[in-house]
Structures are given as C-alpha cells and as structure tokens.
Amino acid sequence: ARYVGQRVVHDIRNDLYTHLSSKSMSFFDRHQTGDLMSRVTNDVNMIQFFFNMAGTVILSSIAMILFNLIFMVALDWVLAVSLLLLLPFFLALQSLARRVVPLFRQANEQLGVVNVEIREGINGVKIIQAFAREDHQEKRFDAQNSKLRDLRTKTIRNIGLYIQGIELLAGAATALILGVGAWRVVHGDFTLGGLVAFQGYLLLMLAPTRFLGFAVQISHQAITSGERVFQIIDTPLEVEESPEPESMGQIRGDVEFENVTFQYGESEPILRDISLHIPAGQSLAIVGRSGSGKSTIVNLLPRFYDPSQGAIRIDGHDLRNVRLNELRSSIGMVMQETFLFNMTIAENLRFGMSEASMQDIRHATNLAAADEFINELPDGYDTVIGDRGVRLSGGQRQRIAIARAMLVQPAVLILDEATSSVDTRTDQIIQKALEGLMVERTTIVIAHRLSTIRRVDQIVVLDEGVIVARGTHEELLLDSATYRKIYELQFKLQEDGVTVATEGGDV
Ligand SMILES: Nc1ncnc2c1ncn2[C@@H]1O[C@H](COP(=O)(O)OP(=O)(O)OP(=O)(O)O)[C@@H](O)[C@H]1O
Ligand SMILES: [Mg+2]
C-alpha cells in the first residue's frame, strides 16, 4: 500500500502540475499562488497519508471486525444480537464524525490563506522593511494564523469527543455482554467458558473498531483534500484548443483585430470595439496612458485570454481555431516584467528553442547587447541565475528576454517597452538590435520611446480601452489632441536624444 500510495501521489502531483501550467490566465487571476501551493503540497500530502496508513488500517480493521463478529455469532447469536442495542449510539457517533468534515475543509482553506500571507511576507520583504511595516504585517499574519489554530483546535476537540464516545461505547458493550451473558449462564443457556471466550472476541473486535474511528477521520480529511485537488483538475479551461484545430502552415504574420471587446472576468469591458490591421512584416505602436489597456491588447494575441466579442485573426485564421502550440511558438514576447527561470543563462535563452546551437545563442545575445555582460559572469553562459543563482539587474534581465525572443525567430514580435531598466547607452544599443529584429517581422510595440514611435508604420492611440486616433507620428501630432498630450508627457523630453526613465510606463 505504501508503494501504491507513493505512485498515486506522484501521479496526482504531476497531474496537478500539468493542469496548473496549462490553465488559462484568468484562472491565475482568480486563485492566489499560496492557495494553489498549499493544494499541490499539503493536500496532496494528506491524500498520500491516507493511502499509506488509513488505507491498510481500514481494510485490516474491517477484516478483523468481521471475523470476530462471525465467531461471536457462531458462539452465541443471542448475545451477538444483543450488541445491536448499541447500534443507535454508534450511528450517533458517526454523525458526530461527519460534523468534523466541514471543519477540516475550513482548516484546509485557512491554511491556504496563511500560505498566501507567508508568500507575501517573503516576496514583499523589501517593501515591508522599506515602509517599516514589520509590526503591522506580523499582526496581520498572527490574526490569520490564530484563525488557523482555532479551527484546528476545534477539529481536534471534536475528534477527541468522538474518541471518548467510542471508548464509552466499548465500555457499554463490555458491560452489556457481561450482564446479558451472566443472566444466560445462570439460566443454563450458555457456559461460563463460552462467556469468557465471547468477551475475548469482543475485546479483539474493539481494538480495530477504535482504529477504524481514527482511520475514518483521516479518510474524511483526505476526502476534503481530494476535493480541493480535483477542484483544480476539474476547472474547465476557458481558453481551450479547438477539437479540430487548423494548421497555420508557414506563418506570414498578418494580424487583424475585428471589433474586439474584452473584459477580465465579470468586470467592465477593458477594451471596446478594437479594430486593427497590421499587414505581414509591418509594425504597429500602441500608445496610451497607464491602465488604458495596452498590455491587455497584446495578451489576447497568444490567447492568454479570448475576446468577449469580436475576432482576432493571424493570416486569416481565427485564433480560436488554430493549434495553440503553433500559435504561441510563432509569437515572440518581451514583456513589461521579465521572468527568468532559475537555470543557467544558456538554458533560459534556449527556453523557447531547445535546439538552438551555441552559435545561434551568441548571435542573439550579440544583437540584444547582452553578450558582453554574460561573458563577464563567473561561468559565462553556464551561470545559474534567479533565486538560487546570480542576481541580474533589470536591464540585464530585459536584454536576456529580448535575446530569448529573438532565438525563436517569431513571425510576430510583441514588445512591451519599459525604458526604466536600462541606461541611455544600453538603450541605444537595444534600439538598434530591435530595429534589426523588427525588419522582417510583424511587430507590435507598446511604445515608451520616441525612437520607436518615429520608426513604426502606424500608431494607435488608446484611451480607456478605445482607439481614439491612428496614423503616423506626424499625422497624429497634427490631428489628435490626446496624442499631443501623451507626446508632451512621455516623448518630448527624449527629443534631444536623452532617454528619460519613465517609471514602467506610468505617465
Ligand atoms: N489580470 C487582470 N485582471 C483584471 N483586471 C486587469 C488585469 N490586468 C489588467 N487589468 C485592468 O485592465 C486595465 C488595463 O490594464 P493594462 O495592463 O492593459 O494597462 P496598460 O495600458 O498596459 O498600462 P501600463 O502602461 O501601466 O502598463 C487596468 O484598469 C487594469 O486594472
Ligand atoms: Mg502594460
């Protein structure tokens, strides 16, 4: 059983991981990381504990009880039947046991909440210390942690009550058998030896009954854990591959948005009636104030989310009908927040393109102006970065992300520009690299740089999720008051060749 337990748990955990990594982005908007972690670790452990222990205990206990019952009935059925008098009490106890189940559930959920707090405490430690909020955070944590303790205490108290009940019942059974048995012996219906043997069987039966009570508790807890795990596995995917996906073939990169309206979950529409057309190989810049929906537009392209209304097409294929893998591997993304894995630099670069040769990699990092600093790292391309390795600066991370996207040779390149991460000189180098990268492919840039908006084929101006103007830089300066305002705030200062660090694009 232990072996089976390990295998089942291993499979469940794998299954959970697969499900988590293929969930729609909206799923992660709704669930907190700490809660999900607690399900993958704690709840799966509980299921394992059940398989390891309770599973065997339950089977052998039931067998023991049955055998002893058979002997008891064979020995003296009248005595055996008199035990039925205690059945209602036993059933009452079982209903007490059932009351514990929701407590287990609440405790599990609360553990998720506590885990969320722990995670935030660790990830946010810099901010917490910078604002001297340690005390406040500790109090917050203590409140949640106390709630968890109270729930657990209540659970344990109820279990204690149950165990006491079982003990009481065992005592009552012994007394009952002695009483009824003595009466039957006195009347000559039963032998004294028989009564002693009967008592022996009863004792043998009581031990597994107690075990069974305990095992039932464990299985209840395992059941609630199982529910939590399967809640994840059974959540339907919102973005799902069509059952008969079309192949996109050789992708040219003609991108079209047709009357796209989108909202996250139940919220107000974030994008309204967006129509765009970028012919293959051309470039589009999206400008707009912070929160106007720029990142949201580009998140629809790899189908992180599906539009609520309207359609998005690449080369005429509606995204909902194409193979997800094909779609996503034809898109290169350099996001606002760069995520790198806890692996070597080379492995990170190869992430989208495992076949890439060292030569390809060097070429890409060269273009992304990253080779210089990589070569200066202790182990060069084999340096482990991330949590357990070397820490990189924001600008260095961004350049690795650009090289990673370049390696895939995507037909469509999406760039969420962030000017804050690099110094002017590096910025100019990256600009050159991107220029080269943009030539042969469709590019959508969320622009924060003057050089970018001057270079692209068309610009759309987004305001509160609506396209309010479109055209080239010169045209828009003449036509659009919104554009002029954004230009004054964001781009004008860059005119004398100085890149101003705009905070992650906030205007
Ligand atoms: N995952 C999400 N769930 C719910 N609402 C979201 C989500 N992501 C963004 N929003 C909301 O959608 C709106 C547009 O956000 P978006 O990230 O597209 O703005 P943006 O134009 O990229 O801004 P910035 O220039 O600051 O990056 C915001 O009001 C934001 O609160
Ligand atoms: Mg954004």
pLDDT tens column, 334-386? 887 788 888 999 999 999 888 899 999 999 998 888 898 999 998 999 999 87
Query: How close is the Cα of 268 to the center of ligand 2, in Å?
Result: 18
The ligand minimizing its distance to the Cα of 287 is 1
Question: Is the per-residue pLDDT at 193 higher than 80?
Answer: yes
Per-residue model confidence as pLDDT tens digits over 475-505 = 999 999 999 998 888 877 776 554 444 444 3
Tokens 């909202």 locate to 263
Cα separation, 311 vs 321, in Å, equals 11
Of the listed ranges 89-93, 140-144, 250-254, the least confidently predicted one is 89-93
Cβ atoms of 283 and 215 closer than 8 Å: no
| pLDDT of amino acid 419 | 55
Residue nearest ligand 1's atom 19 by CA: 291
Q: Which of residues 5 and 218 earns the better pLDDT score? A: 218
Cβ atoms of 497 and 279 closer than 8 Å: no
- CATH architecture group of domain 2-234: Up-down Bundle (1.20)
Q: Which of residues 211 and 132 earns the better pLDDT score? A: 132
Query: How close is the Cα of 184 to the center of ligand 1, in Å?
Result: 82
Mean pLDDT calculated for residue range 451-470: 92
457: phi then psi, degrees, rounded to nearest 5 = -75, -40
Cα separation, 28 vs 269, in Å, equals 19
Q: Starting from the edge strand earliest in sequence, which strands make up the sheet with 309-314, in order?
A: 271-278, 255-262, 309-314, 317-318
For residue 272, CA distances in Å to 26, 254, 268, 370, 484 come to 19, 22, 10, 39, 22
Domain ranges of the chain: 2-234, 255-505
Which atom of ligand 1 has the smallest separation from the CA of 465?
14
Tokens 């028989």 locate to 194
CATH superfamily of 255-505: P-loop containing nucleotide triphosphate hydrolases (3.40.50.300)
Cα separation, 229 vs 207, in Å, equals 33
Same fold for the pair 2-234 and 255-505: no
Q: Binning pLDDT at 50, 70 and 90, where does residue 422 land?
A: low
Cβ atoms of 220 and 155 closer than 8 Å: no
Query: How close is the Cα of 288 to the center of ligand 1, in Å?
Result: 12
| pLDDT of amino acid 496 | 59
Tokens 């103007």 locate to 469
Cβ atoms of 62 and 212 closer than 8 Å: yes
Q: Binning pLDDT at 50, 70 and 90, where does residue 309 land?
A: very high
Question: Is the per-residue pLDDT at 432 higher than 90?
Answer: no
| pLDDT of amino acid 497 | 52
Residue nearest ligand 1's atom 28 by CA: 291
| pLDDT of amino acid 379 | 92
Length of the chain: 507
Residue nearest ligand 1's atom 17 by CA: 295
Which residues fall within 8 angstroms of residue 137, CB to CB, at 6 or more apart? 121, 128
| pLDDT of amino acid 353 | 86
| pLDDT of amino acid 1 | 56
| pLDDT of amino acid 420 | 55
Mean pLDDT calculated for residue range 188-204: 90
Mean pLDDT calculated for residue range 396-415: 89
Mean pLDDT of the chain: 86
Residue type, 155: T
Question: Is the per-residue pLDDT at 54 higher than 60?
Answer: yes
- Please, which residues have CB less than 5 A from ligand 2, an ion? 295
Protein residues with CB under 6 Å of any ligand 1 atom: 29, 264, 267, 270, 288, 290-296, 336, 505-506
Mean pLDDT calculated for residue range 441-448: 90
